[in-house]
């Protein structure tokens, strides 16, 4: 490895940053044709694999040239030659970290629906893809703190953010670690990325630059951030250095509700255990990342009126069919295990096609003198999306009325049909 004070001192590590105004580097005819194909593919593994030969043709044609594009409602200038995240976002944005973006979208929508400001901390922002997604989704009511230390990459980040009108983004050109000062940033010579040097030595061809480093708590205090809605961290194995001190020191009200973290085997401590100690629960695992949520009262899907409404309607079914000795605290459960013989017995009496289907099935099982056992569960936030039956008060009221109508008619009219 070579230690250099400035990455630009060596052409082997210098990253191209084209200063031309956004729009002047639009895709040419060939690249437009490739994008038309790759962006129309399904956002799954098969679509990604099908896109590979098309991407290779376009990248070989482009060489080091960037492409101005739009993705997720944001503008970006992407350099697909070496940076895999720029490559994937350019050709298959529909498949780029799909579960992670869905988790972010649901958290953003909920926060904005409550009338608040959505605060997002992007550690290892790279060229700003996550920050751009949040800025486009949250608009003027999103506040973003983007930390990226690598020279060249941070310039691409700034360009992309400045190409979009009005985002409230603060770029922090530092490495987030466990101390205040300077640290060594290892730049791979194939331009595939960089990482904070956690120990001396190394075997891969790389250069080292010295960059400013700061703890996350200090960065947040200086930025005046008192609460975080979501935090994404992807810093190539140094997540433990950045996140562990924060998790140990942060007050409960400062902890982010959503954490997206790259899954790494090379940490010096069990970061997942520390997340669990602070109350986080794993919501999902993707190929590269793990999604954690903090399941407090403000981040549950079944909360407030909706939860107690389910309890009361469950108790109503209990009371009306008391002879069967049921015990219910919910009528909206969508996961059921039913013996085939029992289902065949009640199938002809089932009439509901909407949310009323759930209590109707419970009632018909009781009427058929089958035992119904409810297994209580805790309700935590959805990984993505919102319930189509309870996303607003109008739909909650409509769902409740449909359920009550079925319950009373089944009790007093017997084999009622709509």
Q: Tokens 């400062």 map to which residue?
A: 254
Write down all domains in the chain, each with its CATH number in brackets: 2-15+98-295 (3.40.50.150), 304-413 (no CATH)
Mean predicted confidence (pLDDT) in 52-73? 96
Q: Against a cut of 0.85, is the pTM above it? A: no
pLDDT, tens digit (0-9, with 9 covering 90-100), for 125-137: 999 999 999 999 9
Burial degree of 372 (CB within 10 A; 0-12, 13-18, 19+):
buried
- Percent of the chain's residues with pLDDT above 70: 84
| DSSP 3-state of 411 | helix
Of the candidates 252, 259, 260, the one whose C-alpha atom is nearest the C-alpha of residue 226 is 252
Query: Looking at 36-40, 182-186, 385-389, which range is the least confident one?
Result: 385-389
User: Residue 309 is encoded by which pair of tokens?
Assistant: 């409404």
pLDDT at 14 over 60: no
pLDDT of residue 6: 42
pLDDT, tens digit (0-9, with 9 covering 90-100), for 93-106: 999 999 999 999 99
| pLDDT: which is higher, 375 or 61 | 61
pLDDT at 271 over 80: yes
Query: What does the alpha-carbon distance between residue 179 and residue 287 come to, in Å, rounded to a whole number?
Result: 30
pLDDT, tens digit (0-9, with 9 covering 90-100), for 197-229: 766 555 466 678 899 999 999 999 999 999 999
| pLDDT: which is higher, 274 or 330 | 274
């Amino acid at each position: 490895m070579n230690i250099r004070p400035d990455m630009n001192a060596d052409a082997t590590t210098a990253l191209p940053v084209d200063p031309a105004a956004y729009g002047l580097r639009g895709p040419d005819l060939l690249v437009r044709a490739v994008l038309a194909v790759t962006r129309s593919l399904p956002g799954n593994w098969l679509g990604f694999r099908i896109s590979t030969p098309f991407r290779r043709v376009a990248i070989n044609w482009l060489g080091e040239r960037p492409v101005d594009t739009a993705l997720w409602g944001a503008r970006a200038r992407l350099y697909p030659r070496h940076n895999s995240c720029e490559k994937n976002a350019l050709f298959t944005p529909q498949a780029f970290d799909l579960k992670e973006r869905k988790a972010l979208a649901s958290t953003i929508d909920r926060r904005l629906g409550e009338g608040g400001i959505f605060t997002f901390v992007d550690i290892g922002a790279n060229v700003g893809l996550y920050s751009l997604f949040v800025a486009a989704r949250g608009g003027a009511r999103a506040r973003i703190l983007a930390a990226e230390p690598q020279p060249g990459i941070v310039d691409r980040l700034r360009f992309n953010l400045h190409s979009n009108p009005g985002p409230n983004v603060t770029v922090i050109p530092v490495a987030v670690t466990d101390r205040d000062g300077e640290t060594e940033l290892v730049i791979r010579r194939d331009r595939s990325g960089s990482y904070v040097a956690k120990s001396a030595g190394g075997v891969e061809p790389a250069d080292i630059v010295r960059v400013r480093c700061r703890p996350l708590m200090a960065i947040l205090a200086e930025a005046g951030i008192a609460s975080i809605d979501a935090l994404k961290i992807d810093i190539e194995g140094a997540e433990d250095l950045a996140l562990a001190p924060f998790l140990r020191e942060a007050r409960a009200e400062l902890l982010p509700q959503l954490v997206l973290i790259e899954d790494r085997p090379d940490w010096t401590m069990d970061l997942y255990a520390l997340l669990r100690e602070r109350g986080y629960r794993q919501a999902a695992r993707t190929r590269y990342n793990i999604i954690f949520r903090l399941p407090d009262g403000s981040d549950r899907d079944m909360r407030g009126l909706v939860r107690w409404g389910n309890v009361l309607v469950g108790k109503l079914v209990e009371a009306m069919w008391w002879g069967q000795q049921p015990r219910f605290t919910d009528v909206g459960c969508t996961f059921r295990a039913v013996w085939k013989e029992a289902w065949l017995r009640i199938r002809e009496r089932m009439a509901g096609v909407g949310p009323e289907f759930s209590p109707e099935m419970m009632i018909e099982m009781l009427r058929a003198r089958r035992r119904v056992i409810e297994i209580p569960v805790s309700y935590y936030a959805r990984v993505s999306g919102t319930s189509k039956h309870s996303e607003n008060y109008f739909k909650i009221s409509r769902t409740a009325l449909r359920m009550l109508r079925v319950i009373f008619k089944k009790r007093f009219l017997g084999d009622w049909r709509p």
